[in-house]
């Protein structure tokens, strides 16, 4: 396991890990709701770090980071900027998954000169009232104090034997990760929910995302329907959309090598 490091910022002491090396800009990863830096799939990370430096971290109040969970997505974006400042990084590539995808959009809008290329996985812009709605059970299952295997497979993978098998394989890979940071606490979970609810979204600002954007999702995402990825790709001026078959919210771990290759190709273009 890569060494856990800490850096002080005005918004708290942030925990992070750095892997890989390369001549290009570092790639910063923004994690999902209720996820920590150690919930990234090792099968996805391995090909990513083969050609570049990759930084994963816990936002304020999450995992091994200090501080408190910000009250809005904009506040979470401020933590990302504080991390860049503390690490002396003037410009990076940025990948956000799920909640991290929302946060990444806020970061790119807040400091566009510091984000060269943006990857938004399994996310949306907020403020999308038309199109398919999330599965009616999502809110109930997300609110469970602990999400067991059945909950996780429902939320993150498609309702098929193939996708569920991929989900179980992902959970096995995570279970083998040593020296994990602490799980997200109950208060932090509630804080994230409040921050999401307090943020109206950035759909009306997508046209301002001038950097190249790669948007991707699984076609059967129960939580954030793939239509919302389409909205980003159709309204941001320089965006490309990829949809993966027979997959859901965690398509990037079901198709880990394929999506990592797409990300690498996009960042190297």
In this predicted model, what pLDDT tens digit does every residue of 31-47 receive, in sequence order? Answer: 999 999 999 999 999 99
Q: Which CATH number belongs to the domain containing residue 175 in this structure?
A: 3.40.50.1820
- Please give the pLDDT value at position 145: 86
Residue range of the domain that includes 167:
5-126+133-268
Q: What angle do the packed helices 256-268 and 42-49 form, to 10 degrees?
A: 30
Question: Residue written as tokens 């200090």?
Answer: 66
**0.95 cut: is pTM over it?**
yes
- Please give the pLDDT value at position 245: 98
- Please give the pLDDT value at position 121: 98
- Please give the pLDDT value at position 164: 98
**Rounded-to-integer distance, Cα 21 and Cα 7, Å:** 20
- Please give the pLDDT value at position 146: 86
Helix ranges restricted to H, the chain: 42-49, 73-87, 99-110, 138-142, 149-156, 161-175, 186-197, 226-235, 251-254, 256-268
CB atoms within 10 A of CB 204: 12
CB atoms within 10 A of CB 138: 16
**Degrees, nearest 5: CA angle 189-205-211:** 95
**Rounded-to-integer distance, Cα 31 and Cα 8, Å:** 20
- Specify burial of residue 196 (Cβ count, 10 A radius: 0-12, 13-18, 19+): middle
- Please give the pLDDT value at position 22: 87
The total number of structural domains that make up the chain: 1
The stretches in the chain having pLDDT less than 70 are none
């Amino acid at each position: 396991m890569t060494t856990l490091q800490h850096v002080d910022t005005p918004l708290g002491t942030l925990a992070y890990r750095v892997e890989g090396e390369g001549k290009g800009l570092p790639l910063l990863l923004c994690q999902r709701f209720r996820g920590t830096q150690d919930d990234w799939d090792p099968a996805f990370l391995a090909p990513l770090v083969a050609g570049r430096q990759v930084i994963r971290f816990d936002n304020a109040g999450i995992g091994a980071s200090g501080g408190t969970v910000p009250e809005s997505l904009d506040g979470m974006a401020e933590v990302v900027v504080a991390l860049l400042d503390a690490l002396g990084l003037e410009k990076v590539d940025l990948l956000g998954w799920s909640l991290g995808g929302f946060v990444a959009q806020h970061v790119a809008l807040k400091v566009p000169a510091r984000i060269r290329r943006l990857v938004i996985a399994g996310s949306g812009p907020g403020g999308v009232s038309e199109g398919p709605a999330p599965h009616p059970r999502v809110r109930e299952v997300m609110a469970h104090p602990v999400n067991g295997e059945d909950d996780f497979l429902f939320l993150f993978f498609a309702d098929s034997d193939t996708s569920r098998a991929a989900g179980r394989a992902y959970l096995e890979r995570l279970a083998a990760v040593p020296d994990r940071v602490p799980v997200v606490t109950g208060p932090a979970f509630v804080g994230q929910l409040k921050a999401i609810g307090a943020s109206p979204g950035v759909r009306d600002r997508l046209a301002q995302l001038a950097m190249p954007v790669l948007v991707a999702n699984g076609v059967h995402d129960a939580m954030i329907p793939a239509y919302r990825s389409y909205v980003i790709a159709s309204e941001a001026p320089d965006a490309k959309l990829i949809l993966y078959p027979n997959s859901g919210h965690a398509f990037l771990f079901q198709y880990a090598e394929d999506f990592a290759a797409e990300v690498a190709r996009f960042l190297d273009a």
